[in-house]
Structure 1
């Protein structure tokens, strides 16, 4: 793998350096918007318990194990973050709008949360994150607990300037890591070892988490296949899907290469997938339904069954989580809005041969789609 100084540092990316004051301002705005949404939905309070949502509202991302973490946003203008005492020291930069409430190891945090929520009755919760036992306990305290995760999801869909800068920085790191990996990759390399080396490289350059998925030859016919002990051989297609979390936000890109000249299948599959991606990117416009983006790529990929199968949708939103809603699949009617960021990743897969996928991260703007990474136009050819 390349030396550490071969990759871009976070400070080299325009807009990537954000002051604490900027973060504090952003979280204050988000808290107020969530409060307004809760009031509009007839709620007395909203309770955020998912780690991404807590990070979105406070800048603090908890390690979610068995302990309760929650942010309560009250309709009356008050609010609090409830954490185990062992995590209280991590809240120095939490927004001043939130009271800090810590509970001892002798408590499960629910009595303290009930005190924070006192005076409220109808509580909106993230139904995908609040476990049943805790919801039941809140009801025993007299609260009317209702599903309302869509309120914070809708806020998180639209990225602000701070978030766009962070996602762009993550894309920069991933893209340059891909380029360095391809520059070093040679026949005889082992899938599992290459994945481990790339993950280590991403972490060395600031990624707090990384998910490389680099597959060779026929293994790439499974979009979510597991890296094995297979060695790289002449004639193989390499499908390299890398995602990394930098300063809390994810970048997710996929590039493909051939070892030596591309086969007829690889060449035609690449051209098809590239055209499908262009069509899907062009469909990333405000007002379009998410399913329309998928339809734009699916109609092309499915037109060539001789090259393989279309096994997944066009992509997904990305941000504090590597996979976020809305998802670009046939069932999603959600209209695209300014500030949404999606992966656009059409692919085609032929069992026994391989898979070709091309993925970039795309920002929806009022003037049209903006690709946050360098849009690949050529299939990489590696030395054989």
Structure 2
């Protein structure tokens, strides 16, 4: 059994990381992705690395961030590197008698990876440590769930603002600027660049905001999110102006029904591919499945797109505490697109739609 230093016991996230060391056959874990470091230290990070050892955790950074890190990081040793971050990393590893360092090569450039491999001392091995932090981040703690709910409360205010602001004559770009001003007035930012797609522009899943003016009888697709202290919301809503064509009404009804079918299947222990297939099967019955070309959803937290990915190709299984989006869609080329996206908390026996009051 691996002995965990008492100082690290107060950080439950790092404690959970240490508990997988034996299974992964590693003596230390190198974390280089900023958002993963933020998750493990409860503090935003930039251009720094975290080395987790059983008896000590090291935050390796340069001159610019040392003072701030020393003030905010509790129980973590802040190390300033002089020549290179790689050199300091291996100096620390040697001092801690580390022999096998787990790391995730996906979170560094090829150039950094090559230097890391080249400078690695003979007595130390770099071994695969993919998804160790990401797997932990999938299941949200209560404090994380509450942070996302707070972001959704501000999102609801932005949605109410949009209900008044979306009107004929305003361009997508002008609407974007109005929305941005409103969001900033609440002391928050967007979690990603919003999609505001009117009329035929909405047939593009990731449409760019244009100068097109919204017209009477348009349908307008708005996909946006709020970032509140790192935690994010992500919803898509449809806005309809004037007379809605029978085809648009019908497709909207089918997309909403597909979403409800999928949400009805969500609970801990269910494969994510099954949830995706449920929505797809419903749309297939309506002969619309060919117009739904992306995955049904994804995890949300400190990043707008996290695992699990709700896709037929994924082997992931839903777990209690995951927060996912469910966003079936139909895109009719050159005509219109309908997407409805909600955020859902997975529970043991079912789920809770966190965004159910935003409509």
Normalising by the residue count of structure 2, what TM-score does the alignment of the two structures yield? 0.91
- Structure 2 vs 1, CA of residues 133 and 120 (structure 1 numbering), >3 Å: closer, same or farther? farther
Write out per-residue CA displacement over residues 356-377 of structure 1, whole angstroms, 9 at most, x where no aligned residue. Answer: 1111110111131011112567
Q: Is the 1:302–1:310 Cα contact (8 Å) retained in structure 2? A: no
1:336 alignment partner, SS class: coil
- 4+ residue runs of structure 1 moved beyond 6 angstroms? 24-27
Distance in 2, matches of 1:85 and 1:39, equals 34
Distance in 1, matches of 2:9 and 2:93, equals 24
Distance in 2, matches of 1:207 and 1:229, equals 25
Distance in 2, matches of 1:193 and 1:131, equals 37
* Partner residue in 2 for 1:181: 162
2:108 alignment partner, SS class: coil
Write out per-residue CA displacement over residues 186-218 of structure 1, whole angstroms, 9 at most, x where no aligned residue. Answer: 100101121222123223313244421111000
* Partner residue in 2 for 1:224: 206
Distance in 1, matches of 2:105 and 2:324, equals 24
1:149 alignment partner, SS class: coil
Q: Is the 2:31–2:104 Cα contact (8 Å) retained in structure 1? A: yes
Write out per-residue CA displacement over residues 264-322 of structure 1, whole angstroms, 9 at most, x where no aligned residue. Answer: 11211111111111111122211111111111111112333369711211100000100
* Partner residue in 2 for 1:277: 259
Which residues in structure 2 correspond to 1:1-384 (within 5 Å)? 28-63=11-46, 68-74=47-53, 76-92=54-70, 94-104=72-82, 107-118=83-94, 119-139=97-117, 140-142=119-121, 143-210=124-191, 211-305=193-287, 309-374=291-356
- Structure 2 vs 1, CA of residues 306 and 300 (structure 1 numbering), >3 Å: closer, same or farther? closer
Distance in 2, matches of 1:313 and 1:26, equals 39
Distance in 2, matches of 1:287 and 1:56, equals 25
Runs of 5+ in structure 1 lacking a partner?
Answer: 1-23, 378-384
Deviation at 1:103, TM superposition (A): 2.3
1:224 alignment partner, SS class: coil
Deviation at 1:177, TM superposition (A): 0.4
Distance in 2, matches of 1:204 and 1:175, equals 14
- Structure 2 vs 1, CA of residues 77 and 284 (structure 1 numbering), >3 Å: closer, same or farther? farther
Distance in 2, matches of 1:108 and 1:200, equals 42
Deviation at 1:127, TM superposition (A): 2.1
- Structure 2 vs 1, CA of residues 244 and 164 (structure 1 numbering), >3 Å: closer, same or farther? same
* Partner residue in 1 for 2:4: none
Distance in 2, matches of 1:27 and 1:234, equals 58
Runs of 5+ in structure 2 lacking a partner?
Answer: 1-6
Write out per-residue CA displacement over residues 102-158 of structure 1, whole angstroms, 9 at most, x where no aligned residue. Answer: 224xx2322112122222121111222123333333333223222212211110000
Distance in 2, matches of 1:175 and 1:149, equals 36
Cα RMSD of the aligned pairs, angstroms, is: 2.1
Normalising by the residue count of structure 1, what TM-score does the alignment of the two structures yield? 0.85
Q: Is the 1:27–1:58 Cα contact (8 Å) retained in structure 2? A: no
